[in-house]
Structure 1
Amino acid sequence: MRLSLGGTWWLTEFELGEGERQGAFTPNFQLPPERTIPAQVPGVVHLDLMRTGKLPDPFYRLNELVVKWVEEREWWYRRDFEVPAELLSHDAVELVFHGLDTAAT
């Protein structure tokens, strides 16, 4: 059985190391609204930031220098979803992310 998790997620920005320290991985973590935007999965941080007007086109002129700050931050994706009982009846369930870049917690 497959359960698609594509669609709208929430993307939150942290200083390096702060996401884990603040407990962003816990189920009841409150997303800070001033640092959280809707994100599309599959997708990329840069495109989500561009969609919300927080980032200019990185391929235009010298914008590559302007958007460098994105690489110096930590980005956490989050989505709540219901798991069907049929899926929970299995001994093991795999959560697979195709194309995940760098690291995941």
Structure 2
Amino acid sequence: MKIGSFVMGGLAGAAVVMMIQRNQMMSAVAASVGHNLKHRMNDMKVDAIEKALNMKFASSFKRATDSVSHKVQNSSSHGGGLDEIEKIVAQDPSVSHEVNAILEQNGQQRI
């Protein structure tokens, strides 16, 4: 950019500012436009931050739920959830005692 163009642009900008300051109507319009622009830029910033955080947490949440659903599918395909737990609990009396204590605290029936 030539220095002459830069100076002319600066002078034109200063002339516009002086014109806006002298005219109350133009000053009110400029203030309104500035306020709206500031409000929209703030909204865009908040939206961008929100989208970035949602992408980060959504992807980790998706991976976590995928691994849990994979584990549930594997456990159900191996022979049936609660039946398998009852077999494990029946093998060890101390585990059976602990499970029964927890179930009693929750008001459920004992195994």
- Between Structure 1 and Structure 2, which shows a larger proportion of strand residues? 1
The higher-RCO structure (CA 8 Å, 6+ apart) is: 1
- Between Structure 1 and Structure 2, which shows a larger proportion of helix residues? 2
